[in-house]
Structure 1
């Protein structure tokens, strides 16, 4: 009997070790989440305090060398602005005094500097608007009469408006701050990224709502109409669009860089307008059908579903490449299906059907693949890009027209399917996977996603924390232990990744 019990225990241990999903999530209800929350909060405090001590007022922070550098002549406060809402959400009111003072006294946008229209909108304008919103909702964030964040947001938006002065209304890739002039991209024949043109709307529309000035709304909305008027096949948009003609200048389709957030903002614009702008819901549902038919395929050994790319467009072979950036998609699919409500509530609606259930299952499947990007590496950190082993027939056009196999949850099989190329092996502290895990936990209430997020946080703690004085760094190789640091802390590490972990 003892021999039998030992053999059973040994097999159980072997099976558990080969299970990339993990059994630990079954104890989720027994975990002290207050303690874990404090550890995450501590990681932010260490990161923020290191920046303040070593690089205050600089746009970039280099934690290895303990110094900062600028992205413009006088700096634009990229890290400061990107961190404001996290400071407020974590109730670190003692750390708000200096950032607010710096914004009011030091931040100057009248600089001889080209800035990326997209980055300036989502980080600078978005950061200021988030801070303003939280001052109206959190009792300790600021006085409701405090207008510095909104005033700076209006100033940023006004500096960005010249980017929309193209012939078509598609925003130029860049804008010169002091000259108030939109500038076409220096690459791609002057084309703008489709993702960037379709990822300016939330901030501009919210600013119109706050100020009563509909100029911001109209400028951003115009870009969406131009993109829609192209009538993209299967509602999957190519990644480049020219600001003068308003026409697509590429056939390439992907949900990673230059394509990603166009799709993300379809759902979020629908939700932002309280469901009144049904056009965005319809655009999203049609795009999701296109994604399911043309981009979702499976790996060779374990049948993991992943989002492939179409370098030559619809009707051509797929490329088995998936950026970490694509990992915004699982949470988005779940949010689109339930409109941001819990799954248990959404399932009570008369409109809930098998199609929506299939979408939730797809969200779960893709979430597993994104988790796999972390689970298969030596450090437990995801690479910037993953490639996959896939059968040739699974890379033929329209994989959604063919039956796809079920996933096999074997870590050994998963490791056969993921390919991490040396040039793609870096980790830039990106937030997309933890963002989706956060939404999947909130929507499905499955503790599995919470536990995956905790394991990712621990991997960051173990492999990217330098010291309490230096903070955290992005790394060069997720399959090297210890991974070489890149001597850079991304602003979205403070603005998104830490708080979502």
Structure 2
């Protein structure tokens, strides 16, 4: 999740947190700086590589071409003309195809009927899923038309810009696997061709280590996995086994991974907040005393571990494992980590503890590292369980009127007061709680396993309660779209989880009737009379909605794990609100015959400056995670539960699905936890 809106470290945009039949292999592939793979501050002095390279292709060197022959000038000219014509046709964006259905018109017409929709027991979820697909196509077509190749897109004005000179392929690479999942072959072909001919990572500029890893590296790795594991999704001949472009995504990912390794060249092994890709040189943050965000430093492990698995290069694995060792050596109290850590010293910076921005995905990647490696690295399950105990003890409280479960913050440390504030980012946690409890299996199946316990039962209870709270933040606004931050009214002193439920049995031991009552939806009426509304405060500076994915992400996990259709229904209400209030509509009124409707079309979707007024105030910005995450999770929520299954995948914090695997050889946890001083003294006595 980590801060999907998310600050770009030291970039100018800081703090404001998805295939062609021609042979494309080796075209436009940037060459990595020499010796990058063996850098990392001298941490890897042993260059022996005992594992086989991916298909025995060292660093996926592009295939060599035959020696150049002397071609006749006219033949060369003819080839150039044909190449140009092919390139022009294949590069023509989808929106220019006059024979295709105008989904913008169709979705606009449907949007006019949203309020008339009546509840039905016979819901066609495939039909609803297609509406999500239409919203994606509209978003993508607008980007193709107005901003192709740019990193940022303003759908209202039709403007765009790059994060750095030359661009990073931010939107194209981030949205690529969403298009594969949605089986959008034409769109994938256009994106793949741009990646092959235009994407490069040799710019002499610093970029966010974290964002570049989760979006770019994660996006390329996921595209490789999906194109090989699911060849029938957006089938492109060029990425088939043995085809000329088979290794395109891996070649790009390896080049980028080598460059990113420079960020880990700190005295402690904690990555710097930024990295210059051209020089493979890490750069400390300009603020916070040069400290890195704890979440950023600890949310790159899934990507580098999968890259290590594909390449057999243990350097990637060791670099990110070292980070986890340094974090654990600080002995965080009750498994809760401050949100900053200094790359020079390896020590935490400050005492601010929260699961919102700069803290969130540290916890997410604990359980996901355990699941990614097929439960072969138990240290991460141990760390995850410790963190859950700390969250229960210090951060979970209940609101004053409706007893909504609130995940608060401790900005001044665990000994100081709880702040009843929840970033939207925190809403990744309900789904992650459920994922940790069952490992992604259906709840009914997990409950039959030998290792099921009252603690796991309580984790399901907490996931349901927090899910309801996150849903309430959507119902609390005029548009039905959550604000960026919600504040809650608590008792004084607050009623904590341990006060209300002294042990796991007291919560998980509820009767079936009680458990059913807590998972019911809150009243969606807007008359202001419901008790829970008195528990939520939305400050003026927090009213914006950035198209964030965390709540629908949790709904996706909750539905797939519990099987309860209510989570799909909540997601459908959210999706309708996005279409109704964030759509960018074009089309002028014209002189029409009496009774004839004005034909307009949706050309894109935008974030909002104020989601608590109708009409809402727009921001004129489409976040890249709108296509990479939010629409992807809606699509998966409305899909069959076995499609891109939780049992076989982990999703990185940018919603890029990566496969689970069993690590072998040098790919393993290379460190052991050191006992705390108090534990060591007790053991000695």
Question: 2:421 touches 2:488 (CA, 8 Å); kept in 1?
Answer: yes
Deviation (angstroms), 1:144? 3.1
Rounded to whole Å, the distance in 2 between the matches of 1:300 and 1:197 is 36
Structure 2 counterpart SS, 1:361: helix
Q: Deviations over 1:53-109 (max 9, x none)?
A: 110000001001012111010111100001100100000011112111111111121
Q: Deviations over 1:281-320 (max 9, x none)?
A: 0100110010011000011111100100001111211001
Deviation (angstroms), 1:401? 2.9
The residue that corresponds to 2:361 in the other structure is: 261
The residue that corresponds to 1:38 in the other structure is: 130
1:51-450 aligned at under 5 Å gives the runs 51-140=143-232, 141-142=235-236, 143-145=239-241, 146-394=246-494, 399-403=496-500, 412-450=530-568
Rounded to whole Å, the distance in 2 between the matches of 1:353 and 1:231 is 27
The residue that corresponds to 1:493 in the other structure is: 626
Q: Which moves more between the two structures, 60-69 or 404-413? A: 404-413
Rounded to whole Å, the distance in 1 between the matches of 2:275 and 2:298 is 17
The residue that corresponds to 1:15 in the other structure is: none
Structure 2 counterpart SS, 1:282: helix
1:379/1:309 CA distance change after superposition, 3 Å: same
Rounded to whole Å, the distance in 1 between the matches of 2:120 and 2:397 is 33
Deviation (angstroms), 1:25? 12
Deviation (angstroms), 1:410? 5.8
Structure 2 counterpart SS, 1:306: strand
Structure 1 counterpart SS, 2:555: helix
Q: Which moves more between the two structures, 360-369 or 416-425? A: 416-425
Deviation (angstroms), 1:500? 1.1
Q: Which moves more between the two structures, 466-475 or 340-349? A: 466-475
Rounded to whole Å, the distance in 2 between the matches of 1:227 and 1:193 is 12
The residue that corresponds to 1:18 in the other structure is: none
Structure 2 counterpart SS, 1:96: helix
Question: 2:392 touches 2:498 (CA, 8 Å); kept in 1?
Answer: no
Question: 2:155 touches 2:606 (CA, 8 Å); kept in 1?
Answer: yes
Structure 1 counterpart SS, 2:406: strand
The residue that corresponds to 1:5 in the other structure is: none
Structure 2 counterpart SS, 1:207: helix
Q: Deviations over 1:159-216 (max 9, x none)?
A: 1101000000000000012122100000000000000011000000000000010111
Rounded to whole Å, the distance in 2 between the matches of 1:213 and 1:27 is 53
Deviation (angstroms), 1:457? 0.3
Rounded to whole Å, the distance in 1 between the matches of 2:402 and 2:608 is 28
Q: Which moves more between the two structures, 34-43 or 347-356? A: 347-356
Rounded to whole Å, the distance in 2 between the matches of 1:392 and 1:78 is 46
Segments of structure 2 that go 5 or more residues without pairing to the other structure are 1-116, 502-506, 508-513, 525-529, 586-600, 635-685
Rounded to whole Å, the distance in 1 between the matches of 2:215 and 2:629 is 11
Question: 2:259 touches 2:279 (CA, 8 Å); kept in 1?
Answer: no
The residue that corresponds to 1:454 in the other structure is: 572
Rounded to whole Å, the distance in 2 between the matches of 1:101 and 1:27 is 43
Q: Aligned pair count?
A: 474
Larger Rg: 2
Query: Is 1:49 the counterpart of 2:141 in the alignment?
Result: yes
Rounded to whole Å, the distance in 2 between the matches of 1:156 and 1:318 is 41
Structure 1 counterpart SS, 2:609: coil
Structure 2 counterpart SS, 1:136: helix
Question: 1:118 touches 1:173 (CA, 8 Å); kept in 2?
Answer: yes
1:410/1:394 CA distance change after superposition, 3 Å: farther
TM-score, length-normalised on structure 1?
0.92
Rounded to whole Å, the distance in 1 between the matches of 2:214 and 2:314 is 19
Structure 2 counterpart SS, 1:64: coil
Taking only aligned residues, the RMSD between alpha carbons, in angstroms, comes to 1.7
Which of the pair is proportionally richer in helix?
1
Q: Which moves more between the two structures, 443-452 or 403-412? A: 403-412
Structure 2 counterpart SS, 1:84: helix
TM-score, length-normalised on structure 2?
0.68
Rounded to whole Å, the distance in 2 between the matches of 1:470 and 1:127 is 25
Deviation (angstroms), 1:400? 3.3
1:27/1:342 CA distance change after superposition, 3 Å: farther
